[in-house]
Amino acid sequence: MKICIYGAGAIGGYLGVQLARAGADVSLIARGAHLAAMRERGLTLLAGEERHTVHPRCTDDPNELGVQDTIIITLKAHSITGVIEKMQPLLGPHTRIVTAVNGIPYWYFYKHGGQYENSTLESIDPGGRQWRELGAERAIGCIVYPATEIEAPGVIRHVYGNNFPLGEPSGEITPDVQRLADLFVAAGLKAPVLDRIRDEIWLKLWGNVCFNPISALTHATLDVICTDPSTRALSRAIMMETQAIAETFGVKFRVDVERRIEGARKVGAHKTSMLQDLERGRPMEIDPLVTVVQEMGRLTGIATPALDSVLAMVTQRARIAGLYDGVSTPSDPRALAVA
Ligand SMILES: NC(=O)C1=CN([C@@H]2O[C@H](COP(=O)(O)OP(=O)(O)OC[C@H]3O[C@@H](n4cnc5c(N)ncnc54)[C@H](OP(=O)(O)O)[C@@H]3O)[C@@H](O)[C@H]2O)C=CC1
Ligand SMILES: CC(C)(CO)C(=O)C(=O)O
């Protein structure tokens, strides 16, 4: 299976090392100093006391790679639209695209059923270009549970976790998704194939939608946000709004909100990716994690006053830092009035 990891940074680099070590035919697309370092010295994974270096093909030009069986997108989700054209040489009639990103993916309403079937969401997929030009029918869902970071160009630090649940939008256990899961397992990862992948997407997003913007606004780590009574209550309020929206779309949450917050608290003194991005001057992933929930709230007529307030502040914070030029424009006067 020819696999290309598009955006081989912290998560894509981790996957790249593990897949290469398992003997997979894997190519990495990256850029800048990180790409130069990988070309020169290979890609190194630091995991506890272990250190592994691999030398997969690395490029910033998809034309060099040609058609792939599987593309694993590990870009920040707000970067996907910007690479649609560059991705075209990788796409053949049978290519599958795995969305290994946080937030709601572009294919969300593909094989969803009901009144929203085949809808696109403006906050994550402006004009529906990802849906049309990457192809919703190509998609395989993936949830990223591990935490990793780029410690230096060409060097990935594994922080915790190895679980990447996978699932077809239709819920079927197809040969494609099973083959991919088998490959992940051979690479030492966990990759349960889920028949309700959207439930798991929301379970992860439940944390990102509140902890990430609150951390960017307060600079608090997860343990502090989940312990301080005020930020815990604010997180809970956003999570309850989010749950109401997701349940309208038929999502089932397998844990309750208190257990989800406790799970995050136990992660400890960890800075969310949004806080890390703010501190390092990198574009913040606001629309795929927060604005999209507001958009889905508008679609379903569910007010999101707590989320609206936090979103208004975090977008302003990000704009002032020059790290956001997205779509967030709250337009529901009722929600703004409540907020
Ligand atoms: N890191 C983590 O611990 C976790 C991450 N996630 C999610 O996983 C996804 C990936 O995150 P993460 O790995 O941290 O992100 P990174 O920013 O580390 O990785 C993305 C990589 O893609 C590169 N890139 C961006 N645009 C292009 C382009 N046009 N051509 C080539 N390369 C490009 C970036 O380069 P550059 O730096 O130059 O922009 C970067 O190296 C996100 O959705 C994130 O929320 C989820 C759970 C945990
Ligand atoms: C750490 C965690 C789970 C916080 O929601 C995360 O996914 C992130 O930082 O993006």
Q: Which CATH class is domain 197-338?
A: mainly alpha
Query: What distances in angstroms separate CA 135 from CA 91, 107, 118, 153, one per listed residue?
Result: 10, 8, 11, 32
**What is the value of pTM for the model shown?**
0.95
Are the CB atoms for 124 and 287 separated by under 8 Å?
yes
Residue 278's nearest CA partner among 306, 310, 307, 316 is: 316
d(CA 15, CA 194): 20
Strand partners, 29: 6, 59
Residue range 121-137, pLDDT digits in tens:
999 999 999 999 999 99
- Which residues does 192 contact at the CB level (< 8 Å), separation at least 6? 163, 165, 166, 181
Helix and strand totals (H; E) in the chain? 14, 11
Catalytic residue list contains 266 = no
- Give the nearest ligand 2 atom to 207 CA: 5
Distance of CA 101 from the midpoint of ligand 1 (Å): 9
Please give the structure tokens belonging to residue 80: 């996907």
Distance of CA 269 from the midpoint of ligand 2 (Å): 12
| Domain spans, the chain | 2-186, 197-338
Distance of CA 268 from the midpoint of ligand 2 (Å): 12
pLDDT value for 325: 83
Look up tokens 């989700």; give the residue: 77
Are the CB atoms for 242 and 300 separated by under 8 Å?
no
Is residue 197 in contact with ligand 1, taking CB distance under 6 Å? Answer: no
pLDDT value for 264: 95
Same fold? 2-186, 197-338: no
- Give the nearest ligand 2 atom to 289 CA: 10
Is residue 229 in contact with ligand 1, taking CB distance under 6 Å? Answer: no
pLDDT value for 339: 28
Q: What is the largest CA-CA distance in the chain?
A: 57
pLDDT value for 328: 53
Strand partners, 147: 160
Distance of CA 157 from the midpoint of ligand 1 (Å): 14
d(CA 60, CA 73): 14
Residue range 17-44, pLDDT digits in tens:
999 999 999 999 999 999 999 999 999 9
**Ligand 2 atom 2: residue of nearest CA:** 272
Choosing from 78, 202, 212 the residue with most ligand 2 atoms within 8 A of its CB, the one to mutate for a pocket test is 212
Sign of torsion over alpha carbons 266, 294, 301, 237: positive
- Give the nearest ligand 1 atom to 11 CA: 13
On whether the 2-186 domain is CATH 3.40.50.720, my answer is: yes
Is residue 296 in contact with ligand 1, taking CB distance under 6 Å? Answer: no
Are the CB atoms for 311 and 274 separated by under 8 Å?
no
Are the CB atoms for 61 and 6 separated by under 8 Å?
no
Ligand nearest the Cα atom of residue 273: 2
| Ligand 2 pocket, CB under 6 A | 102, 147, 207-208, 211-212, 270, 272-273
Which of 111, 204, 266, 271 is catalytic? The answer is: 204
DSSP E strands: which ranges in the chain? Answer: 2-6, 25-29, 43-47, 50-54, 57-59, 70-73, 96-100, 139-142, 147-152, 155-160, 166-167
Residue 294, Cβ neighbours under 10 Å: how many? Answer: 27
DSSP string, 295-327: HHHHHHT---HHHHHHHHHHHHHHHHTT-----
Query: What distances in angstroms separate CA 77 from CA 52, 73, 94, 125, one per listed residue?
Result: 27, 9, 23, 10
- Give the nearest ligand 1 atom to 79 CA: 26
d(CA 135, CA 80): 13
DSSP 8-state symbol, 190: B
For the purposes of burial, counting CB atoms within 10 Å of the CB of 303, is it exposed (0-12), middle (13-18) or buried (19 or more)?
A: middle
**Ligand 1 atom 22: residue of nearest CA:** 7
Over the chain (339 residues), the average pLDDT of each successive run of 10 is 97 98 98 98 97 98 98 97 98 98 98 97 97 98 95 96 98 98 98 98 98 98 98 98 98 97 94 95 97 97 98 97 76 37
Amino acid identity of residue 142, one-letter, is C
Query: What distances in angstroms separate CA 165 from CA 68, 100, 112, 143, 238, one per listed residue?
Result: 21, 10, 18, 5, 25
- Give the nearest ligand 1 atom to 29 CA: 31
With b for 16 or more beta-carbon neighbours within 10 A and e for fewer, the 52-71 pattern comes to bebebebbeebeebeebbbb
